[in-house]
Structure 1
Amino acid sequence: MNSSSTELDESVRAELSALRDSIDNIDAAVVHMLAERFKCTQRVGRLKADHSLPAADPAREARQIARLRELAENAKLDPAFAEKLLTFVIAEVIRHHETIARGAADDHDPEPT
């Protein structure tokens, strides 16, 4: 191996390392943003349970999917991927809301005698 190929290898490794560091930082930000989103949706779930509202809101979900697809297109991200991601997140939110609602219903059931 000559010195120019060694330098290239080192510069490629350095660039790869820097890019991976950026990816790791972005992944951490995504996780933290999802955690914040779920904190908000947990509050929504409690509010829905307290007022006997359904866990799912298909009209809102459809609006959110359309909105996210448009945001994805504008960001040069595959809208189908964005929709799959949001659909997955929404399913998890609904599952949380149903769990919260069951807990709220249990809290309102009279104690057995």
Structure 2
Amino acid sequence: MNAEPAPGPRPESAFDPHATSLDGTADPAVLQELFEIRGSIDNIDATLVYLLAERFKCTQRVGRLKAEHELPPSDPGREAAQIARLRRLAEDADLDPAFAEKFLAFIVSEVIQHHRAIAGRRD
């Protein structure tokens, strides 16, 4: 009998933080620095995944509330305000505002699909 995996974070045992196709093509000291920088990137990526999971938990709650009160899945006024806010934040953070807007648009599109699905289950 196979035991269910424990809830929560799972070990990244299959992930090799030193995976590269650059072995033998660069100075080992350069590769070491590259691995250190990539380690920071890996930590940020993991944080982003968990933050997105938390964000989607909140948007699921919004979707249920909207469905209960027969509100539309999307809110163009809210979305426009969020885009403007995110563009300002991106500029302050020295991030390309167009990229930040595309990123938010992707997330909002997913959220709206979830809200439609929640509303469909209530019908």
* TM-score (normalizing by structure 2): 0.78
| Cα distance between partner residues in 1 of 2:62 and 2:47 | 23
Structure 2 partner of 1:55: 73
Task: Give the alignment partner of residue 47 of structure 2, picking from 29, 45, 70.
Answer: 29
Structure 2 partner of 1:89: 107
> How many matched pairs?
98
Structure 2 partner of 1:10: 28
Task: Give the alignment partner of residue 64 of structure 1, picking from 54, 76, 82.
Answer: 82
Counterpart AA for 1:67: R
| Cα distance between partner residues in 2 of 1:60 and 1:49 | 17
| Cα distance between partner residues in 2 of 1:104 and 1:68 | 32
**Aligned residues with identical type, % of pairs:** 65
* Moved beyond 6 Å, runs of 4+: none
Larger Rg: 1
Q: Answer 1 or 2: higher relative contact order, Cα 8 Å, separation at least 6.
A: 1
The two structures, once aligned, show a CA RMSD in angstroms of 1.0
Larger proportion of helix? 1
Structure 1 partner of 2:16: none
| Cα distance between partner residues in 2 of 1:14 and 1:84 | 33
Q: Deviations over 1:35-68 (max 9, x none)?
A: 0000000000000000000000000000000000
What runs of 5+ residues in structure 1 fail to find an aligned partner? 1-7, 106-113
